[in-house]
Structure 1
Amino acid sequence: MGPSGKRAKDAQKVKSSGKSGKGSKTKPTKKDTRLAQKDSGSQRNTAASDSKDASLALESKVLPITLQQLLLNVFRFGLWSDREADATPLSELIQTLKAHLYRRDFISAFADANSDLLNAYTLRWSAGRALGYAGIFGGVFDMLLRQWSETPAEAGHRIHAFCIGGGAGAEIVALAAAWRLVRDGIWGNLTSPAPDHTSKIGDDNAGELEDALSVLSVTQPQRSGDTEQEKSNRTTRGDDRPAANYPLDLRITAVDIANWSSLVDKLSTSIASKSIPSSKSSPAPLVAEGDGDNRFHVSFKQADILSLADEELRSLLESSASRAAKPASEVNDKSSSKTPDETVLVTLMFTLNELFSASIPKTTAFLLRLTELLRPGTILLVVDSPGSYSTVSLGGNKPKAQTDETESASPQPSGDEPKNQRKYPMRFLLDYALLTTAAGEWECILSDESRWFRRDATKLSYEAGDGIGLEDMRFQIHVYRRLAS
């Protein structure tokens, strides 16, 4: 979507990055940079050490191949099967999108795009990303469940996932799949992936990933079907699950600058549909909506996240579903045990660098506003393009996000353009905002600048038309936890 809502992110390596200054009105100096690197580095080391504690450790989880296939089928049959015969070929739509994204024309690609273009984008890029996201979200859920087992709530728990730039559906379907993993009771996978059917995935220098920050292990299945351990650990939906962790509700609020409401509705219907092709071990629906325990709910808000007023942002973070579940007299009663305790998970999946490229001051100010509005215990998850795909130049009238493609195609600076531009990695700008400017408000649970998710191409099927295919995903990941002031 547009620079302040969606992403060029997924655009076939037409990826940018973001940065944020010390505050909303000041730019980081060289001294600031050195201090931030020192401060954030020490805090990262402390956080990495702390994260080895059982209550903070975060590991990406492996989904059974059958559940991964069901996830893909939600996209394939929810968006592709109802296309009309005379509709514009997907290959043509994909080429149009690639052209917009290469030119960094996000308005045409997202904000002004029609439903056909948005559907094509989701089929082409969101489905593959959802596979990688699901394992990450599964790790977050597992971490939270272990924390909750130490302090069970009488009425259970609720997770409110606030997905910034999440209109294209990858986060929504991935969260549903991760939640399904929990609800199916695959506790063996959730707590300790069996070594005989998982393997670590890293860079080409895989050995270097096992350092102080490698508490996140991205894994992939090595064979199709369920292992005997998975079968023995799986329980019938809702049965024989740890009482301390249930009931569990999942509320998803996706916010995006483009109007993805129709697509979100289609995917929500597909997620809950029993007619989606599936296997016996992972039957459809992906998630069944219900009125009792273990409720699943998705809502969408079209908005420019950088321009939202504090009250509107606060309202979205609290979630209308959360407020509706409480009597008016209990809305502000934190001690009430009549409704589930809610933990907020804020996600910025391949979105933060686009926000920074739109405006470093506005994005920094937004992160600081989030800090003020979010409660202790909130998890902030940032996933984005790695390395050179995530740098922002500061020094002209407008920050410029760099990618390999756009750099090679960009005109040489003219005499009117600033000659002393500085380039900042997204991670530095993120840490500068959260760990330096808002020092003491966040702890870094995990930070890794390069990870891979590789799908099992031999066991997954995704036939959604010409120009549509699945790709492996290389990414950087940073996870923060809001501390009590």
Structure 2
Amino acid sequence: MKVEHNIRDISHHAANSKKTTAKPAKQQKAKPKAQPESQGQASSSADTNAVDVLPLIHQQRLLSSFASAFQPVLASPAFATILQEVKAALYARDFDAAFTSAKAESLDAYAARWSPTRALAYAVVLLGIAEHLEGLEVQVKKAEDEAGAEGGAETTQIKKEIKILSIGGGAAELAALAAYLSQQPAYLKGTITCLDAAPWAPVVSKLHAALTVPPPASRYANEAQATAAALVDPAARLSSSFSHLDALAMSRDQLSKELGKEALLITLLFTLNELYTAAGIGKTTAFLLNLTATVPLGSLLLVVDSPGSYSEAAVGKESKKYPMQWLMDHTLVNKPQKDGVFPGCRWEKVESNDSVWFRLADSLNYPISLENMRYQMHLYRATKP
């Protein structure tokens, strides 16, 4: 089940966004009308901060990578129809139809339509926690470094690596890592494993290629866009893979194998709340406890999801609703050994923000209209119990 985009969040955006039509012949401004902020909730506009941490030229390169990777579906006369079919399945909570058994063109359309804004927002989040991510950088193994030297001079600069396991992740998470690397020293390499029950491998592969090669020049592009470089250069700095697995069905041994032995970043980006609402609190809690029991010490867990009432899960016969953040903290922070399960680690909350706005700059271009987005963010570190 692909849960990158919360179903209720899709409904919210669908009611407040412009009609999406495929107009590949002319690039559209990416920013729509500003969406109103809810009163009584802490919020911050990321307009200025986004440019401060991720220059517009790199934001545009990210969007251009999406436009290049998914140009066939964006240019298809059936694009709007495909999107409506995906939306209908999501509204009906038929995740099998929307993702798991969806046609390749439907997955491409989803990635082309909803992942670009998320990728930019996720990149801003990663750059905002860069000081914490630096602690996860490990030296590249000597054998790997020597192999790179044999393959060409461009890979010899790579000395350190950061690893990410993105649970429920795909196109947006991969592109966010690429954008993060674009702002880091050339010696740093990023390796990401996207894990999901839906078959996103072709989408990840297409986007990876687009992120590591210069986008083709368009007759509509200006001189700066026509000479744009790849978002990640050299290509060896970005490594990606896809694991076609259901996180909730994984055993501890399977999860441990995916995590590895070294500290890494685990992400649940617009995933955790959907697990709570679609799979239930029991299964989701069991998954979090398995993660707690197997994660390498020093690892970071990044959770990003819809803010406020868009992230609530119902519990019990009376369907009493609890905020996702409360459920998460109850499981991760409030000593889960009380429930008879002794964790392999304890989670320390490092950073938290209940409501943040990410706003697209007026100057950004993409073949179709995109929306601003709002999210909550929580960062945890695995420490000794």
- Normalised by the length of structure 2, the TM-score is 0.76
Higher relative contact order (CA 8 A, sep 6+): 1
Question: Is residue 2:349 matched to residue 1:429?
Answer: no
CA drift at 1:279: 3.8
CA distance in 1, matches of 2:91, 2:161: 40
CA distance in 1, matches of 2:248, 2:173: 20
How do 1:51-200 residues align onto structure 2 when only pairs under 5 Å count? 62-80=53-71, 82-83=72-73, 87=76, 89-145=78-134, 147=135, 156-167=159-170, 169-183=171-185
Q: How many residues align?
A: 321
Question: Is residue 2:205 matched to residue 1:265?
Answer: yes
Q: 2:63 is aligned with what amino acid?
A: L
Indicate the percent of aligned positions where both proteins have the same amino acid.
39
What are the Cα deviations for residues 124-154 of structure 1, in whole angstroms up to 9, with x where unaligned?
A: 1001111111111112334333x579x9999
**Match for residue 316 of structure 1?**
258
CA distance in 2, matches of 1:421, 1:101: 22
Q: 1:173 is aligned with what amino acid?
A: A
**Match for residue 7 of structure 2?**
8
SS of 1:113's equivalent in the other structure is: coil
What are the Cα deviations for residues 194-251 of structure 1, in whole angstroms up to 9, with x where unaligned?
A: xxxxxxxxxxxxxxxxxxxxxxxxxxxxxxxxxxxxxxxxxxxx3xxxxxxxx42211
**Match for residue 345 of structure 1?**
265
SS of 1:182's equivalent in the other structure is: coil
CA drift at 1:289: 5.0
- For the 8 Å contact 2:68–2:215, the answer to whether it is kept is no
CA distance 1:115–1:354, shift in 2 (3 Å): same
CA distance in 2, matches of 1:431, 1:250: 29
CA distance in 2, matches of 1:448, 1:289: 34
- For the 8 Å contact 2:136–2:264, the answer to whether it is kept is no
What are the Cα deviations for residues 14-45 of structure 1, in whole angstroms up to 9, with x where unaligned?
A: 89xxxxxxxxxxxxxxxxxxxxxxxxxxxxxx
SS of 2:296's equivalent in the other structure is: coil
**Match for residue 286 of structure 1?**
231
Question: Is residue 2:366 matched to residue 1:462?
Answer: yes
- For the 8 Å contact 1:7–1:106, the answer to whether it is kept is no
- For the 8 Å contact 1:71–1:286, the answer to whether it is kept is yes
CA drift at 1:275: 3.5
CA drift at 1:351: 0.4
- For the 8 Å contact 1:74–1:276, the answer to whether it is kept is no
CA distance in 2, matches of 1:142, 1:470: 30
Structure 1 residue runs without a partner (length 5+): 16-58, 184-237, 239-246, 319-331, 333-341, 396-417
> Quick one: which of 450, 453, 465 aligns to 2:358?
453
**Match for residue 380 of structure 1?**
301
Cα root mean square deviation, aligned: 2.9
CA distance 1:116–1:381, shift in 2 (3 Å): same
CA drift at 1:101: 1.3
- More helix per residue: 1 or 2? 2
SS of 1:424's equivalent in the other structure is: strand
CA drift at 1:159: 1.2
CA distance 1:108–1:435, shift in 2 (3 Å): same
CA drift at 1:428: 0.6
- For the 8 Å contact 2:166–2:195, the answer to whether it is kept is yes
Query: Which of these two proteins has the greater Rg computed from alpha carbons?
Result: 1
CA drift at 1:84: 9.5
Q: 2:86 is aligned with what amino acid?
A: L
Question: Is residue 2:383 matched to residue 1:441?
Answer: no
- For the 8 Å contact 2:136–2:263, the answer to whether it is kept is no
